[in-house]
Chains A and B, each alone.
Chain A
Amino acid sequence: MANTKRRSVLKLAGGTALGGMAGILATGRTPAYAQQKTVHWLKWVDFVPATDQMFRRELVPAAEKELGMKINLETVNGNDLQPRITAGIQSGSGADIIMSFNSYTHLYANSVVDMAALAEEVGKREGGIYKYAQAICSNGKGVYMGMPWAVIGGMIAYRKSWLDEVGATKFPDNWETYREVAKKMKAKGRPFGQTLGHTFGDAPGFTYPYMWSWGGKEIDANGKVVINSKETVDSVKFMTGLWKDGMDEGGLAWDDTNNNRAFLSQTISATLNGASIYIESLRKPDQYKTEKGAPLHTDILHAPLPKGPAGQFGFHLLQSNMVMKYSKNQDAAKAFLSWLHQEANYRKFFESQKGFATPCTAKWESDKLWDVDPVMTPYKVAAKLGQAPGFAGPPDAKAQEGLSKYIITDMYAKAVQGMPAEESVKWAESELKKIYVA
């Protein structure tokens, strides 16, 4: 198709003294900038590579055809989403749709478009949006800062045969047993592994639920900082022992990919993670084998984090899509998201994930995908059981600030590095007070 250049429109309009609309009409064609809308979607590099491939090969071309727009799909490392959001908002230009992790939605609430209409429509159609996703994506007053996309469930992936060898026929369901088994495994050179580093997913995914399960919390329902409690101190003390006894001590420096590599190269026996370890081993059965030569995926099972004195919790990475207020293509962006959330299209994404991502609506819980592979079944309720940072308060911008500063994770990391438990909790308390008082 021959493009009409703006210059030719201007020439024509100026030369014939036909201004504005008349000039455009005289060319018999719309000007170049309006011929085709472009929607720029910025998302993370999926930990399941097949999904990004599927988007580029199938869904994006299909959407372009059906919606008559150009879709520019860009993927970046999860840790790099925030700088892009900030740069976009401050400069007033950038991607039209940006993927949000957890409560970024609350942090950038003033700079995004309300997605309530689509959220309500999808919720109604698919048996309701889970409370966890509602709390993170909406402000509780009917405004949706992000359109809930999926939850990356965090479960412990573990080596069945190795745990069998030390007499643990099922994965420990409380912290005491967890520590005992980890200790036995570490003695055999196969410790449990967990990160306490500055990284977005696995670090808070472990430390927040761990703290909650002991009864510790950042604030109470009234917004008062209550982290300095006996429960939190106990949890910190237990963690320091656990770290020495049973964990891979390199974990202090791990990012979200280190535990995947450590597990796949068989240096650790259990780690909290999305299902990406299992899915990767499924994808390359010839590359990843157990020491006995069997495909590694046949020796991996999943289990939730153990219970503590105050219960059992999970904090899963919630992803949503934000349509940015600065975008000049808001309608097109909304139309694209609406198209993506149509069941047939969303299903393609869901199936390519093989259970790595759990949808945010109830309907998918009973999908047949969960019956295909029993190893993945525990993930199906991840989105239902999750709890968000900031508990027992709302998962708002302040909670996100605490999360972004890695306060809870650092509280444990400091203690593991030798700071007395009481002191590290006091440190976390003073940091949290700065956030919640200000």
Chain B
Amino acid sequence: MAVTAVAGAEARPIPRLRRLEDERWLALALLLPTAILLGLFIAYPFFEGVLLSLTSQRVGVDGEFVGLKNFVKIWNDSIFRTTVWNTFWYTGVTTVFKLALGLWLAMLLNRHFKGKALVRAFILLPFIIPTVLSTFAWKWMFDPTFSVINWTLYQLGFITQRINWLGDPDLAMTSIIVVNVWRGVPFFAISLLAGLQTISPELNEAAAIDGARPWNRFWYVTWPLLLPVTMVVMLFSVIQTFADFQLVYVMTGGGPANATHLFATYAYQLGIGTGLLSEGAAISLAMFPFLFVIVVVQLLYIRRVETR
């Protein structure tokens, strides 16, 4: 009796493990770690942020529920409106330049030449160096008094007076755009290069035999095949640029007179600098609908391109 009981127990796996034979349970078990991570570090802070933005909490002072009051307040805030405009301009201009330069670089890197591997590695440098460090170097280059850029232009005879890079509102915006493009191009270049390498050279060769010129080969063969990758790269870049913080914080602190404030830097100034945590949260969250629309449009587009 006892023997059969033991044998029976061996033949049948314990019920908990058997459950994993069902694919649905297995999927759940495999997804669980990621779900917990995402929940803990993305969903939870997000909902906390939403709750925070609906209260009147300040640093060290528990607030009460105030509904949408913070959102109404920032909507009427002229600095916030400047910030919205700045962020869109900053994201739009940098993305166009990063895409154009990145694509150009990727096409060049896709050719065969001596020292290709080395050049490819060096291209990544701006992306690898910690942003704060490289931005500090740029800050020095744009320094109102000691700018090496001004010095060079002056020595070459192009200017007679110092250019006020970070002191003039338009030039300050241009300066941070330049730095962002410099930092972002390698990401575009390397990702697009990866995309280019998946395109079979035969397609291009066939087009060439049919008499297609280089531009036509690019426009009708390479570009359509590269588009899905391009869209994904742009999606990542737009999200990152839209929420950029370090670069502006180091270079201008949002100045002069708020001319370079982005969502993140203004939220920081209000939330941390002024202690108005709830308003800071409201500004951060105001980013969400804009980003949401951008992401949905891009994802829909990617889907269309992929199913075509």
Interface residue ranges, A against B (CB under 8 Å): 79, 82-83, 85-86, 89-90, 107-111, 196-199, 248-255, 258, 261-262, 265, 267, 397, 400-401, 404-406, 410, 413-414, 417, 427, 430-431, 434, 438
Contact = CB atoms under 8 A, between A and B. Distances in A.
Given A107-B59, A111-B60, A252-B164, A406 B145 contact: no
B275 to A, nearest CB: 5
Contact of B256 (A90, A196, A427): A196
Contact count band on B: 35 or more
Interface of B: 59-61, 73, 76-79, 143-146, 162, 164-169, 172, 252-259, 269-277
B78 A431 contact: yes
Given A249-B164, A414-B257, A254 B144 contact: yes
A253 B60 contact: no
B253 A434 contact: no
A417 B59 contact: no
B143 A258 contact: yes
B39 to A, nearest CB: 20
B73 A198 contact: no
A265 B145 contact: yes
Contacts of A427: 78
Contact of A108 (B60, B77, B78, B145): B60
B69 to A, nearest CB: 9
A267 to B, nearest CB: 6
10 contacts: A86-B272, A107-B275, A108-B60, A253-B166, A253-B256, A265-B146, A267-B145, A405-B270, A413-B255, A413-B256
B255 A406 contact: yes
Contacts of B166: 252-253
A413 B277 CA distance: 27
A85 B58 CA distance: 13
Contacts of A82: 272-273
A interface secondary structure, majority: helix
Contacts of A414: 257
Nearest to B74: A434
Nearest to B276: A401
A252 B146 contact: no
Residue among B60, B77, B166, B254 with most chain A CB within 10 A: B60
B255 A197 contact: yes
Contacts of B162: 250
Nearest to B150: A250
A401 B79 CA distance: 14
Given A404-B274, A438-B73, A90 B59 contact: yes
